[in-house]
Structure 1
Amino acid sequence: MKEVVEYIVKSLVIDKDAVKVAETEDETGSVINVSVAESDMGRVIGKSGNIASSIRTIIKSISSRTGKKVFVKFGE
């Protein structure tokens, strides 16, 4: 999942070197933390959070096949 999120986010931002994606797992599922440059945060979140919501929907759709929950969090 981490690779998919990283690919999507890097295709949206200008400063591709500043993209950091980390995945942690616990008993409830996986959490993917996405960090981008402050100037690119608006591109990743989108107007009213539409792009961030779309990324989460794609990841939830993929993860439903494996049967585990995956949460995506965005930050700087």
Structure 2
Amino acid sequence: MKGLIETIVMPIVDYPEDVVITEVEDNFTITYKLTVHKEDVGKIIGKNGRVAKAIRSVIYSSTLQSNKRIHLDIQ
């Protein structure tokens, strides 16, 4: 899943070396924390959150077979 997030995010940002994805797994959820350079946060979120919603949609749809819920936090 980290590879998918990296594949989506890397072309969007200006500072790809600052992209950090950490995974926190719980009993019922898996949370991916996406940290980017402070200048790239706006690009990842997009106007009215459209880019962030699109990224989340792709990630959520790719894990429909899993019993755990997936969350993406953008920091």
How high is the TM-score relative to the length of structure 2?
A: 0.93
**1:52 paired to 2:52:** yes
Quote the residue 2:32 is aligned against.
32
Find the aligned partners of 1:50 and 1:31 in 2 and give their Cα distance.
20
How high is the TM-score relative to the length of structure 1?
A: 0.92
Say how many residue pairs are matched: 75
Find the aligned partners of 2:68 and 2:28 in 1 and give their Cα distance.
8
* Offset of residue 60 of structure 1: 0.6
Identity %: 31
* Offset of residue 42 of structure 1: 0.8
For the aligned residue pairs, the C-alpha RMSD in angstroms reads 0.9
Any gaps of 5 or more consecutive residues in structure 2?
none
Structure 1 runs of 4+ with >4 Å offset: none
